[in-house]
Amino acid sequence: GENVEQHPSTLSVQEGDSAVIKCTYSDSASNYFPWYKQELGKRPQLIIDIRSNVGEKKDQRIAVTLNKTAKHFSLHITETQPEDSAVYFCAADDSFGNEKLTFGTGTRLTIIP
Amino acid sequence: NAGVTQTPKFRILKIGQSMTLQCTQDMNHNYMYWYRQDPGMGLKLIYYSVGAGITDKGEVPNGYNVSRSTTEDFPLRLELAAPSQTSVYFCASSYSVGTSGSIRYNEQFFGPGTRLTVL
């Protein structure tokens, strides 16, 4: 089955700077790569996703890049703000025979004012 | 739409007790999932369902059971609670189309979670 690794596990960034979180996956047939944000004590919520036919996707200050050859994808947050502080999870679909997502272990992002 | 709802929000069980965590979605989603999240950890899949009457094991199914008699409901049953089952449990749902090997996934919507403590 799919294996997703996520780095770093913790990240501290000065307010206004950029943050990058990276994930690698093992199943070359994976096609869907979402990113979820989980604020303290809250439920995970989707912030952006990308499919395998696209190399990059942007939504305001958030962008995701995908390199299918290298089997890795990254989340980029620019002009970070205090409300970006949260735990971020990447995930990849398990395409053949398993209709589910495999999640990374999470990155705790702290924005320093 | 209420989205995905879970009950109860909190529960304390004694070792060996049983309980059912309820999950309901009103978005007519075909896929439903149960995850557990241990403190400071990621999401581990317990069970999932691709439609009414169909369930399958995830990564950590031992000690749990599920059923999916309707599209809306996906209860999770703990038969003999153990301290290792202390965790936050999230139910999620999504609408995905296609068949195995060619599935178009869409956003998973999560419920608010159930915080379970087994003492």
Pairwise CA distance, residues B17 & B25, whole Å? 27
- For chain B positions 71-110, those within 8 Å of chain A (CB to CB) are 90, 96, 100-101, 103-105, 107-108, 110
Q: Are A90 and A73 in contact (CB under 8 A)?
A: yes
Q: CA of B57 to nearest chain A CA: how many angstroms apart?
A: 10
Give the best residue of B47, B74, B94, B108 to mutate against chain A (max A CB count within 10 A).
Answer: B108
Per-residue pLDDT tens digits for A17-49: 999 999 999 988 888 899 999 999 999 999 999
pLDDT of B101 reads 60
pLDDT of B1 reads 80
Pairwise CA distance, residues B47 & B60, whole Å? 8
Q: Could B48 and A96 be called an inter-chain contact, meaning their C-beta atoms sit closer than 8 Å?
A: no
Per-residue pLDDT tens digits for A76-113: 999 999 999 999 999 998 766 456 889 999 999 999 99
pLDDT of A54 reads 84
Confidence of residue B68 (pLDDT cuts 50, 70, 90): very high
pLDDT of A96 reads 60
Nearest Cβ partner for A103 among B43, B96, B100: B43
- Shortest CA distance from A46: residue in chain B: B107
Per-residue pLDDT tens digits for B11-43: 999 999 999 999 999 999 999 999 999 987 889
pLDDT of A111 reads 98
Q: Could B112 and A43 be called an inter-chain contact, meaning their C-beta atoms sit closer than 8 Å?
A: yes
Pairwise CA distance, residues B6 & A64, whole Å? 31
Q: Which of A32-46, B43-57, B61-75, B91-105 has the lowest mean pLDDT?
A: B91-105
